[in-house]
């Protein structure tokens, strides 16, 4: 398999195997007018398998969303064919409009104009709670 290197953009690496397409959709990468490569089930020394996404353009990337999906991801920033920075992600303290509250009584089910806001309440167990109704969301 031959995947071109990128000149300026990002390599999103160490994605948990099977999560690459979820990230592709969440970041709306289908709307870009540039090369985007999704590599699934690549060999990984750490985990056995991983997904990788290469984006051949310098675009804004929401690191909070990526950290929520998989905080073990590494985001490599590429300029002039060289990796100039590697960013490690963390679980975000707060996520906005990434997931929806499943509680039918939550105000967000009635008022679609409200942001879907979840606050990290248990970092060890990766539990978030809806800001409005306190419904828990385990990743």
Residue at a domain's end among 88, 106, 129: 88
Question: Do 44 and 84 reside in the same domain of the chain?
Answer: yes
Sheet of 136-138, strand order: 94-96, 117-122, 127-130, 136-138
Give residue-wise pLDDT tens across range 115-139.
Answer: 999 999 999 999 999 999 999 997 7
Report if residue 47 sits inside a domain: yes
Question: Do 24 and 83 reside in the same domain of the chain?
Answer: yes
> pTM here?
0.82
Domain tally, the chain: 2
Question: Do 81 and 15 reside in the same domain of the chain?
Answer: yes
Which secondary-structure segment (H or E) carries 69?
Answer: helix 63-69
Phi, psi of 108 (to 5 degrees): -70, -20
Question: Do 60 and 128 reside in the same domain of the chain?
Answer: no
Burial of 8 (0-12, 13-18, 19+ CB in 10 A): middle
Q: What is the CATH number of the domain that holds 112?
A: 2.30.30.20
Task: Please check the confidence at residue 87 and state whether its pLDDT lies above 80.
Answer: yes
Give residue-wise pLDDT tens across range 6-33.
Answer: 889 999 999 999 999 999 998 899 999 9
Name the band, by pLDDT with cuts 50, 70 and 90, for residue 3: low
Residue 2 pLDDT: 57
Residue 38 backbone zone (phi > 0: left; psi -120 to 50: alpha; other: beta): beta
CA distance 16 to 41: 9
| Residue 126 · residue 104 · CB < 8 Å | no
Q: Structural domain of residue 103, as residue ranges?
A: 94-138
Name the band, by pLDDT with cuts 50, 70 and 90, for residue 41: very high
Question: Do 22 and 71 reside in the same domain of the chain?
Answer: yes
């Amino acid at each position: 398999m031959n995947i071109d290197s990128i000149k300026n953009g990002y390599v999103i690496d160490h994605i948990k195997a099977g999560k690459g397409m979820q990230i592709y959709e969440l970041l709306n990468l289908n709307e870009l007018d540039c090369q985007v490569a999704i590599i699934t089930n690549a060999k990984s020394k750490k985990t056995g398998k991983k997904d990788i996404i290469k984006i051949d353009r310098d675009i804004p990337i929401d690191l909070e969303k990526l950290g929520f999906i998989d905080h073990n991801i590494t985001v490599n920033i590429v300029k002039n064919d060289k990796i100039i920075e590697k960013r490690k992600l963390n679980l975000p303290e707060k996520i906005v409009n990434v997931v929806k509250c499943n509680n039918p009584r939550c105000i967000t089910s009635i008022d679609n104009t409200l942001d879907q806001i979840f606050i990290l309440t248990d970092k060890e167990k990766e539990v978030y709670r809806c800001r409005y109704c306190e419904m828990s969301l385990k990743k």
